[in-house]
Amino acid sequence: MQAKIDSSVVIMTDGGRDVTVGDHTQILRGTEILGPVVIGSNTYINRDNYIRAETTIGNHVAVGPFCRFVTDSHEIGSTNRRAGKNTVNPIFVGDGTWIGASVTILGGVKIGRGCVIAAGSVVIKDIPDNCLAAGVPAKIVRRLEAPTAKNPVLRHAYKVLQGLRKIQDN
């Protein structure tokens, strides 16, 4: 099955900036993607997201609405124009990660596999595999274990991800 991309999604690939989207991936309305970007298979990108060049999003990733993947910035310029030379630093999101609503991820960040990034967080530093991170700036709250009957929060998060995958398959 191919990806499902809403007709309102804006994909900019000028100048050889390819955008690659894996099978069974769904991208909802209002999202803007500026290549080069790679989005893996079985990934769910909710509505109104902004994904800049040099972003790689893995397989089985869930991205909430209103997220920003901001790979570009500027050096501090002179007093005449503080926004100096443009710089681009890649973003990487590992397989199985869940990015909550309204998260901002800045360039140069690597988010590991199996992470949960809480809604409203601003990620400015790397997050290792299997961690819950939250806040502005995002900090590691704790390591995550496999969902078990003894851990209702993780069990719920796992069920939400399973539900998103079922939606994608339909």
How many whole angstroms separate alpha carbon 103 and alpha carbon 28? 16
User: What are the Cα distances from residue 56, in Å, to 22, 40, 61, 69, 96?
Assistant: 12, 8, 11, 10, 13
Q: Which residues are annotated as catalytic? A: 74
Residue 127 tokens read as 């997050």
Residue 105 tokens read as 């991820």
Q: Look up tokens 């900036």; give the residue.
A: 17
Q: Is 79 helix (H, G, I), strand (E, B) or coil?
A: coil
DSSP tag of 35:
S
Amino acid at 155: R
How many whole angstroms separate alpha carbon 125 and alpha carbon 46? 23
DSSP tag of 86:
E
